[in-house]
Structures are given as structure tokens and as C-alpha cells.
Amino acid sequence: MTAHLHEPRATTASQEPRVRRRIEVRGLVQGVGFRPYVARLAAETGVAGWCRNDATCVVVEAEGPAAAVAAFERRLPREVPPLARVSAVAGNDLAPLGADTFAITPSTAAEGERTLVAPDTAVCADCLAEMADPADRRHRHPFVTCTNCGPRLTITLDLPYDRPVTTMAGFPMCAACAAEYADPADRRYHAQPIACHDCGPRLTAVAPDGATVAQGTEPVLAAAVAALREGRVVAVKGLGGYHLACDAAHPLAVAELRRRKHRPHQPFAVMARDLATAEALVEVGDAAPLLLGPERPIVLLPARPEAPVAPEVAPGLDELGVLLPYAPLHHLLFADLADGSPGAPPALVMTSGNVSGEPLCHRDDDALERLGDLADLFVQHDRDIAVPVEDSVVAWGADGPVPLRRSRGYAPMPVELGAADRTAVLAVGAELKNTVALARDGRAFVSAHVGDLESLASRTTHRQVVDQLVRFHRAAPRLVVADRHPGYASRAVAQEYAAAHDVPLLEVQHHHAHLASLAAEHGRLDEPLVGLVFDGTGYGCDATVWGGELLRLTAGGAGFERLGHLATVRLPGGDAGVRHPVRVAALALLAAGESWEGTPVGAELAGAEATLLTRAHASRLGVVDTSSVGRLFDAVASLLGVRHRVTYDAQAAIELEATARRWRRDHPTATAPELPFPVADGVLDPGPLVATLAGLVRAGDDRGALAWAFHDALARASAEAAAAHVGAGGTVGLSGGVFVNRTLLHRTRHHLGAHGLATLSHDQVPANDGGLALGQVAVGVRRLAALPPEADPGVALDPVCPAD
């Protein structure tokens, strides 16, 4: 139905010749109140016509006096709603039709570039004020939202974005909501998730066996709060999936959640009731705007020594991952109950609703099946989640924010790749911290966080995300891109997709994709960017394990050169060695001509394990040679007695950095030992560093000082290696999962600066494998663009690897 909204305002230029313009606005312009904004702007400027959504953009036809239409078109991209992002505006002249009203007309389908879908955002201040006002009809409504906030991606089934293609389609609006929806002056004008107590979704609390415990807002909140205050675990259905929540100050509750979730050490996130509560937990400082922003990520910040949380929340670490409430339901859980009794404890563990290693639960039946042994109570609602989305994670360091996981609040906003190309390219991402990417029309659309692909359930989810991304964009990829690693589940998915759709598969070396990801997000693919790419594991061009690489992009990002690398760090027993850093440390000591006697390594090793490692060193059987900086971190962490065995990815490195940070914080002016780390012909030799550390450990040097010294030595040697290939005033990129270590990142920037070099680091996608899909898809786009029109991509797109 067409909504006639206003007659154009009378103007003094009524005799001025009339003009009519068709204007197409592209970008993040659906689901953000853009059409209501257009209608209000038309009223202010005195133009008639109409606007509508289609699958590619917002289309406007504006008619009126030439000056009025010009003012309308000039202001259109400048005064947009808070969540809107305009990427392009194009207009052309039409013949005037004599229009005398302005209307929002029904949406239409269209071929071509698809418009952007808005990320989910935190509930806004206006909605919170209504929720807190006893006189408001949405008082304590757990789904309050408006055009400026709330769910978007997670409820969207298709484009153009309208209520019939969202998961709100099953909730017909009541008369009051319908009136707000149709009123151009209302904040909920054309707000698709609009609802109230009378017509919106409803809360239900159920037991693990599915039996109903409570129904309706107040009974459910009372049941949930009682469970949390009693130290029980509550599964809470949020915007993008389920959380598992418990009282963060209750040691037994946190320990029990760890036991049930099979997560003995990996830190939990904590949701604080408000900013004041967060400031009692962590040193917020300049990170306050990030915590309070519409994206509401989990932010890693220095923990206060007296923070009122159980030590089991983040064992062995000096930081807490803190987030603030972002859904109305979260705010209601913390608020006093309707009878005036206290709400939930002020700090709640709020961790992903899954068993460790499995995908996020977002369907009610799946949650009961998979979380039935983890939660004591389930808080559910009847609004389906179309797209599951995890919380985003950002670390805060000396140089500001460092993205660790790009998901809710950020996905699915695209990364601009440059010249628009209608050819679609699909990239399936990495094995760990997986995301998927689709490039089309000059943009790369990176999915929300999928996670590790170690379980069958996770691999099934990965396939679903691939299919959903392609279907959502109405894309027919001409090329599929995967990592070269022959054992990756993501690569198998790519092979299946390529075969099923008769398109070629391009294999991109892991570290090449990391550096291309960095270049892509900064618009520097056309430059021969030199970068340090440090991580734990990547399948190298020589079929060995790489992970400490100095690379240069070539051919507009489509190729690369290996300029240098970390010398060999030996990994005993493959993946088993990754789980036992002490074994990596033992071989590193032996390779450096040192014994492990008198070190924490010797104290940890005993009997058969020590004998096996001695034999492995001599025979080299069962030992994998790597250039992995991640494994070097493992070796040093064990050598210093920080961590010998791990239960989650990068645990030893994370705790080693925490040890270094603590020492620097306690000794801000102290000088750490300078460790040797020689560089020759681009190769960084860790042997002298390991030998020197062993001697200092035996001498009783402070392990915090040695942890700091190691970070600084690695940064210094890396800068020296890079500087040999970059002219003065040049730039060095820093990518790979090791560079989410803010201490190493900061020290590497410092040492590169001493060489007169600038640095480039990630700020849109993570440096870890969560950003790999962006690099893969960027390389794929560039490889396709370099082909002559008559080329057969199935023949021409063989893998690029300089060492092949």
C-alpha cells in the first residue's frame, strides 16, 4: 500500500519552473529509518514525489521548484539517520509529472547490486527511557526498539528489508503499533521490528527437560533472577543466539559452568550492569566510547586487583573481557523486578551458548538438546533468529582498539575493494576462527564469526553460512578460494562447492591471504606492501609449517614474494606438540645446545616424556620443522615457567604477554635485559635468544622482566629484517594472529619507527584467522581481474606460490 505523507510546503518560488529528479542512494540505507528520513526531508524542503526500497538501493523521485529539489538532493546524503551509511548517490532528470504529495511506496525487487543489511545494534537511550517509564505503554517491554536501534541482520530473511521478509512477519502489529509505524513524525515510522506487549514476541522460561516454568515478562524475569542469585546457570536467548549466564562473583557457579562447558581455563566474558559497574571491574579509560557504542563489543581491559569477580572467570590473566547490556532483555535482568526486589547480580558471566568447540545455539529446540546438561533454566522467546551472530571482541592496548572477533554490531558491513566488478568470488576462510567472504560489486562481505571447524556440527554450520551468504546476495560465484592446507575442512567445502557449481577453485597460501587482508581493508592492494605475518600455523609453499613470515605483495595483491622468515622451531608430534608447549621448549633448548636441567622445563618433564624428546631430537623422527612464531611463544612461555600445557588456542602466548604486562606495569621505568636475536639474509635465528634465556632463568632473573625482554627482542629483530626491504619513510604491514598481542604490536611499531618506517595494522577485521577470508577473496578478485576476457579461469587460475 502506498502511504501518502504530506503535501509540499508552500514556497516563495511557486512560479519557478518545476523539475523532477530520480535519485538512487546506495549503502547501508535499509533497516535504519532511511525512507522515513527521506519523507521528512521532502516535507522540510517542499518537494513532492515518492521513495521506496528495492533489493539494490533506496530509490527516490523528487519533484518541485528547481531550488527546492536541489536543496533536497544536496542535504540527502548529509543528514542521514544515526545508523545509515551512504556509499553512493546517483541522479538523473525526469519529466515533471505534477506531483503534489510525497509518499513511501511499496518495495520492489531489482536485479544488480544488492543493498547492505544493517548490523544489530544496542538498544538506544530513547527506547530505554520508555522501557523505564511506568506511564509508557512499553514499560518493561523486553523487545522495545525503533528505527535507530535493535535487531537487523539477525531477523533478516531476504531483501529488500521489509517486515514480511523478517522473522517479525509472524507478529501482526496492533492498532497502536500500526499507527506509530505509519506516522512520519514518529520514531518508529517504518521500523520493521516494531512491537509492544500486546503484539510482540513473548518470553518463556523452561526447564532443561522443556517443561514450562514461567510465561510472560515479569514471571520469567523473576525466575531468571532467582536462578542467577542462587548460583545457577541460565541460558538466555538474545539477539543472535543463546548465552550461558551465571553470577560472575560466585566462584562455585563459575567453576560449575567451566565443568559443564568443558572449558577449564579460557576466560569468560563478563556483562556489567552499567558503565559504573564496569569501571569497578576494569580500568576503562579511553575505551568508554567503545563500550557504550552501538556495536557493544566485548572489550578486553586491565582488571582491577580488587575487581568483585571470581578468579575463575579469567584464570592466570591480568585482564577481563567486559561488555555492557545491549538488548532490552539484558537491561531488564539487571533492573529491579516489578515488585521492587533486586535484579540479577551486577556482573554476570555471559559466554556463548554452546559446548566448547561447537557452534552457537540459536534455535530453541537445538538449545534444549545441546545445552540441556549445561543450563539449569532457559529464558526463551518466540522471535526466530534468522542469522546467528556471536558477540564481537576487541582488545584495548596502548595504541587503541585491536579487533579479535568481528561479528555482532559490525557484520555484515562490507570492506571496499575498489573498482566495482559484478563478478562474484567466494572465499571459505580458515580452519580456526572461521569466517566466510563473498566479493561482489567492488565490496567484500565478510560473514559473522563462525568459529573453529573441529566438530561435525561446526562444519555443518560452515556450509550453511556459505549457502546463506551466496543466497542472500543472489550471487553466482565465478571462483571459489580456499587455503592450500590439504587437511582443512574449509578447503573440502570449497572443493565440493566448486565441483557442484562447475567453477574453478583457487588455493591461496595462508600468510599471503593474511597480508592481502590487511592491504584490502586499507585500500592498498595495488602497492607492493611488505609485511610481517606471524601466527601459529600455516601451510607453506614448501609443504612445511610456516608462521614467521616476511612477505611482499606483488601483482596488485594477487601474488607475493617470501623475503625472510623465522629460522626453524621444531614441533614434536604435530598437533600434540601444540597442546604441550613444554615439548616445544625442550627441543628448542636442545637445538640451542642447552640442557633443560635447572629450568622449569626440566622440572615439568619426567620419565618417558623426557626420554622420548631426547630421542626425537637425535633422530628427528616425529618432529615437524616450522617457522612459527606462535611455537616460539610456546617455547618461551614454558622455559619461563608460565605455561607448560594448554587447553585453548594460544593460551601460553596469552599468559606470557600477561606476565610481561604485569612486570612493566609494576616496573614502569625498569630496564629489561637485551636478548640476542640475530638476523641474517632475512632469517631470524631464535637459538641465541633461547640459550641466553635459559642462562638467565637458571640465574634467577625475574620471569616478568624476561617475558618483556622476549617481546622486545622479537620486535627489534623483526623490524631489522623488514627495514632491509623497505625504504626510509615506507610502511610495513603487521598481520597474523600473533599480532593481536598488543605488547608485541606496540614494541614492533616502536622499533620500526626507529628505522623511520610507518606501520599498517588491522582495524576492520582481525589480524588472526578471522580476517583470512577477506584476504582470500581479495586475492581471488585480483586474479580474476588480471585475466584476459577470453581466458578460461579453470586453466589459468593455478595456485600462486613462489617456492613451487
Q: How much is the average pLDDT of 283-298? A: 97
Which three cell numbers, joined as nine digits, stand for 603? 622440572
Q: Which of 21-35, 209-223, 291-305, 622-636 has the lowest mean pLDDT?
A: 21-35
Distance CA 360, CA 620 (A): 41
pLDDT digits (tens, 9 = 90+) for 51-100: 998 877 899 999 999 999 999 999 999 999 888 889 889 999 999 999 99
641 backbone φψ class: left, alpha, beta (φ>0; ψ -120 to 50): left
Task: Provide the pLDDT confidence category of residue 792 given band limits of 50, 70 and 90.
Answer: low
Q: What does the buried/exposed string (b/e) look like for 775-784 if buried means 16 or more CB atoms within 10 Å of the residue's CB? A: bbbbbbbbbb
- Ranges of H-type helices in 667-789: 687-698, 703-723, 742-754, 772-785
C-beta neighbour count of 708 within 10 angstroms = 26
pLDDT digits (tens, 9 = 90+) for 411-457: 989 998 976 677 899 999 999 999 999 999 889 999 999 999 999 99
Average pLDDT taken over every residue of the chain: 93
Identify the CA nearest to 117 among candidates 380, 427, 430, 438: 438
Distance CA 168, CA 191 (A): 11
| Whether residue 308 has pLDDT greater than 60 | yes
| Whether residue 803 has pLDDT greater than 80 | no
pLDDT digits (tens, 9 = 90+) for 269-280: 999 999 999 999
pLDDT digits (tens, 9 = 90+) for 736-758: 999 999 999 999 999 999 999 99
Distance CA 60, CA 38 (A): 8
- Ranges of H-type helices in 573-650: 575-579, 581-591, 600-604, 607-619, 629-639
pTM of the model: 0.92
Predicted local confidence at residue 13, as pLDDT: 45
Task: Provide the pLDDT confidence category of residue 791 given band limits of 50, 70 and 90.
Answer: low
- State the burial class of residue 339 (Cβ atoms within 10 Å of its Cβ: 0-12, 13-18, 19+): exposed
Tell me which of 394 and 185 has the higher pLDDT.
Answer: 394
Predicted local confidence at residue 16, as pLDDT: 81
Predicted local confidence at residue 4, as pLDDT: 47
Question: Distances from the Cα of 24 to the Cαs of 67, 158, 432, 693, in angstroms?
Answer: 19, 20, 40, 63
Contacts of 265 (CB under 8 A, 6+ apart): 315, 316, 647, 648, 651
Identify the CA nearest to 508 among candidates 476, 473, 533: 533
Task: Provide the pLDDT confidence category of residue 1 given band limits of 50, 70 and 90.
Answer: very low
